Every structure is written in structure tokens, then in C-alpha cells.
Amino acid sequence: MQSLSLSNGQSIPQVGFGTAAIGSMHQNDSHVKDTVLKAIELGYRHIDTASFYGNEQTVGQAIAESGVARKDFFITTKVWDTQQGYQPTLAAMERSLELLGLDYVDLYLVHWPYPEKTHATWKALEKLHEEKCARSLGLSNFTKRDIQQLFEVAEIKPVYNQLELHPYMTQKPLIEYCESKGMVVSCWSPLGSGSWSDVKFEDKPMADPVITKLAEKYGVSAGQVIIKWDVQQGRVVIPKSESEKNMRANLELDHFSLTEQELNAIDELNRDERFGDDPVDAYQANLDRPVPQV
């Protein structure tokens, strides 16, 4: 599996396995464990979860039962808005590690920008890095302004920013800014097809004629075309699937390449269309959405 190097020298598998809303959001049962186990069996080693997903416990059980050595995994989790601030973030990490059954995570992210708490939260992340609870530190959903605010106090710079990024929301200026600051860009909902959104499938990039024609040309799925578009441009991709067929396909990308013209054609599908929340004010609603009790 292809990997990228983070700016601190750590290696990250370029295609990860997303665990948000396996079954449904906050589901934490044998179905989640079995789905993650199947992903690991198929070759996924980068597993992305979060305290808010409510499934760290069963994700951790899958990791433990997989028979794969801990050193061969790259595990990401995230601190939620209701957990932000200095002491709450330290407590959040302690709880995440307890649920995951791990001594450390490979990457710890601030799930959403919460400007009033950014400085204190990041200082807590730096302490967790110093204590080797988190090998790398990063961001999720941070805008340029949020990153600039963080850089005013950050002694350890973030190595990663995970964004809603798909052919209808390409975020090219933000990608360029992140990369100029040494951050790898990662894509959540890379196919623009999250079951959590109310958008009809035919209105999503997976159904776009540009994508489907390329899929037909190369004899691959629409999802494979979109993931390849990201991978060829040096981004980490975090697709989620509960179908073994799709899990397998999302890793099978080496037998075709998109031309520069085709990459540009997908770029040009951009509509600045979010299917998820707007990072500018998402924290306001998130404060009424607590981390589920496990």
C-alpha cells in the first residue's frame, strides 16, 4: 500500500479506512467490529476514528483481534468540540486510549475549529505529544484563518489537515496553503457520498458524467476514479465502506492512471458545494452534540 511522509518523518498509508457511521452514527457493536476486521483482513492499516463516532471501543477490539502487530497500524482519532480546552483535551485522550485499548495513537486531530479554545486545546495536544500519547498532531476542518490563529501559539506544527474534499468541493486554495505550511491534506467523504447527508445519489460526484465516463474508460468504479484523482495529487483519502467489494476496490488503484488532462477535468467539476457542515460555525451546533457515553 502506498504511503506518504509527514513533515515530521512519520509514514502514513495514503488510503485509510473511515469508521464514521458504520451502521449508523454512534453505533458501537459487533457489526462495527466485524466491518473493521474485514477492512484489516483486506489490507487496510490506516484506521480513522474519533471520540464523537462513539465506536472507539469496537474499533479497538478489531485492532486487538486482527492479529496484526500494533507497529503495522496507523491509528487516528480526534478530540471533539465539547472536549476542547486544556484539561478536557487531556482527559479526552486518556478516555480514547482506554476505549481503543492502546498506549498511543499515531495521529491526534482537533476535530473542528473552536476558536475560543484553539490555543488551550493545542497546548494540550503538544503535552500529549511530549508524553508520547500521540506521535503526530494534526487538524480537521481547519480553514486558513483557523490555521493562522493556531500558528500564533504552536510550538509543534500540525502535520495534517483533514477536509471535506471531493470533486464538487475541491478546496484548491486551502490545499495549496496547507501544503505550503508542511501539512499533508486528507479527504473525508472523498466520494461525496456519505450516507449521513440528505443529498440524492444522482446529485453527488459519483454520478457525474465526467466521473462515470472515466470509470467506463478504465474499467473501474466511479469511486476508484475519485480516489485515484486524490492519490495521484498526493493527498490522503479516507473512504468508508461496509461492502467488501467496495473496500477491496478502494485499495485496488495500481492498474490505471489518470492523465493530467483527466485530473484537470475532475478539478473543474468544483462547485464549492459542501455536503457536511461549514467549519466557520460548525462548533456552535457541535456544542449541543456531546460525545456518546460508552
- The separation between CA 158 and the C-alpha centre of its own chain, rounded to angstroms, equals 15
Q: Which helix (H) or strand (E) holds 18?
A: strand 17-18
Burial of 26 (0-12, 13-18, 19+ CB in 10 A): middle
* Total number of residues shown for the chain: 294
Which residue, chain included where needed, has cell 486528507?
186
Nine-digit cell string for 186: 486528507
Helical segments of 78-221, H only: 86-100, 118-130, 144-151, 172-180, 209-218
List the beta strands (DSSP E) in 57-183: 74-79, 105-110, 134-140, 160-164
CB 23 within 8 A of CB 31: yes
The DSSP call for residue 201 is G
The DSSP bridge pattern shows strands 11-13 and 3-5 to be: antiparallel
Amino acid at 118: T
CB 225 within 8 A of CB 193: no
Q: What residues are annotated to the active site? A: 53
Residues 193, 210: Cα–Cα separation, whole Å: 16
